[in-house]
Amino acid sequence: MKVFETKRLVVRSLESKDKNNFIELLSDPKIIDPIPQSRFSETQILDKFHENLNLERSDLHREKYTCGIFEKANPEMIGLCLFLTNDETDIEFGYRFRFNSWGKGYGTEIARGMIDHYFNTINAEKVAADVNTHNIGSVKILEKLMAPVREFFNEERRCMVRRYSIEKNNWLQ
């Protein structure tokens, strides 16, 4: 099921054939260390994959779900979109890309697409995103699109995090 698309990318529910790339996106140190994220066991990764496999429209109202990111001309999954609710009950998004997809402008494109999706399809009034302050690439992306709200130490991830947000009326202007 397609969730949304941008100029070059399609976001859709995960299918069985996406499993190996999903595992890479949750286990490759080059991808998860900048987040940072604790290492998942193979069982945990497979559980997360199966939780998000073959999502239907009705699943898009869950507090948390993950979809795959694909180039329009390529059926191989290059990244993940994470649709979340944060600790302040704000709608939040996250994303990650396979290392060979870095540096192509996909981060900005997918962040913009996720914000559009939340405001224009889900009808959210506010969207947030959290980033490790040392993850310079993602900081630059969020600086282009949203306003910083606060910084805090994330105990679970053991890093300083900056929260960004934008309200619908500021996005549509």
In a domain, 133, yes or no: no
In this structure, is residue 114 part of a structural domain? yes
pTM summary value: 0.92
Beta strands in 72-158 (DSSP E): 77-85, 91-97, 126-132, 147-154
Residue 138 is assigned to a structural domain of this protein: no
| Domain span holding position 70 | 2-124
55 in a domain, yes or no? Answer: yes
Q: What is the CATH number of the domain that holds 51?
A: 3.40.630.30
Each residue's pLDDT tens digit, 13-58: 999 999 999 999 999 988 887 776 778 899 999 999 999 998 887 7
- Taking the CB of residue 51, how many other CB atoms lie within 10 A of it? 14
Q: Residue 140 region, left (φ>0) first, then alpha (ψ -120 to 50), else beta?
A: alpha
How far apart CA 41 and CA 26 sit, in angstroms, is: 10
CA gap 39, 26 in Å, rounded: 8
Q: Is 164 helix (H, G, I), strand (E, B) or coil?
A: strand
Whether the pLDDT of residue 157 is over 80: the answer is no
User: Do the domain assignments include residue 164?
Assistant: no
Domain presence at residue 169: no
Q: Are 25 and 43 in contact (CB under 8 A)?
A: no
CA–CA distance, 9 with 11 (Å, rounded to integer): 7
**With the CA atoms of 43, 46, 48 and 51 taken in that order, what torsion angle do they form, in degrees rounded to the nearest 10?**
-120
Task: Return d(Cα 168, Cα 127) in angstroms, integer.
Answer: 8
pLDDT in tens, 86-120: 888 889 999 999 999 999 999 999 999 999 999 99
Residue-level pLDDT at 36: 67
Residue 173 is predicted with a pLDDT of 57
Q: How many domains does the chain have?
A: 1
At position 149, the amino acid (one-letter code) is V
Residue 90 lies in a domain: yes
Is residue 102 in some structural domain? Answer: yes
